Chains A and B, each alone.
Chain A
Amino acid sequence: MKKLLLTFFVVLCFAFVSFAAEILLEEPVIVTSAGQSPGALQFTVVAKMVSLDYKFDKLYKAEDVDMSQFKTFVIVVGASGKGLGAAGIDIEVEINRVLALAREAKDNGLKIVICNLEGASRRGESSDKIVTTLAPLASVYFVKSDANEDGFFTNLSEEAGVPMATFEMTVGLKDVLAQYFGK
């Protein structure tokens, strides 16, 4: 009986460590927008609250970034007509830009976070297309709850077997970052 309990305890410990390792994210972090909404800017404001070591540019290009300098790549998804117009690009160009960055990040061993920080207001054809295109490369999803009322992110997360953290309010991302980055 003693042996059985000991075995169970050891297995449990390994299971916990492996789960923790699977979702542990590391700094430094590179952040970009996918869709040019202000969500990525919001992410940086919350990131400052937990003193996250990050670099941000809403228009990073794969050829201009040395991904080997980073450990985690955060893509904040939110399609904005105004934002895309201001950047002088369309949604297809935007998707290709972010996809190239994500592939470069994957090749360099970075973990990729797909983040919806603006909730239901950034769900729609264009935003969903960005998410589904990037889904095969996702390591984890950070999602504001009202963006997942139809289970869109839950389905993607379960299909790919990657974790998902949800939060009710924008400021709730602070706790998620603290948890995932061990802050």
Chain B
Amino acid sequence: MSKLFPKSANSLPFQILIYLGLVVGIATAGVTYYMTPKYTRVGYAPVQPVPFSHAKHVQEVGLDCRYCHSNVDKSAHSNVPTAQTCMNCHSVIKANSPLLAPIRESYEKGTAVPWVWIHHTPDHAYFNHAVHVNRGVSCVECHGKVNEMDVVTHSQPLSMGFCIECHRNPELRLRDPKDVYNLDSKRLADQGAAGLKTAENFVHDWKVKPPQSCSGCHR
């Protein structure tokens, strides 16, 4: 009778086990790396109906975030500006620019400018802009250096882990309230031991108590 299985087949079950281990390892690595907002959302920079440059308007013109996002310190929702806000200046400056045509149309006819929503939290997470910016959490913490962006790009994962990290240790992220809208400013904790002390006092005195319970954000 001829040999059906060569001698090397004796080690095959063992080799298959090793290979399966490798496959599981690769799959785990792939899921960890790809199935997270760090991959799916960070870097999202959709083409907007008007090529508005935050870098130009903030760094060159010197506008405050609140000139356009005027309800951010009053409301849970940070508003995308009305066409009238653009027309405050652009009724005179670059009044005939073809790039601004959607804005002029919206201002004259009342139609909506189809801005593309970039930082989209899931509907089951309740985020309130006002309570964050009024307690020293700067725009830059979640939105990145928008003041340097020509095209707004999703820069932070905004995953639950991202939120919780700050909710556990708010003193490490807070800024002086006057620096909240200055995206180039440093966190208090990055200003040496005195800064960290100020941040800790701020957390205590201003009663910064970020919720860590589920219902804090999921209601």
Q: Do A and B bind each other?
A: no
Write the residues of chain B forming the contact surface with A, with a CB cutoff of 8 angstroms: none
A contact residues vs B (CB 8 Å cutoff): none
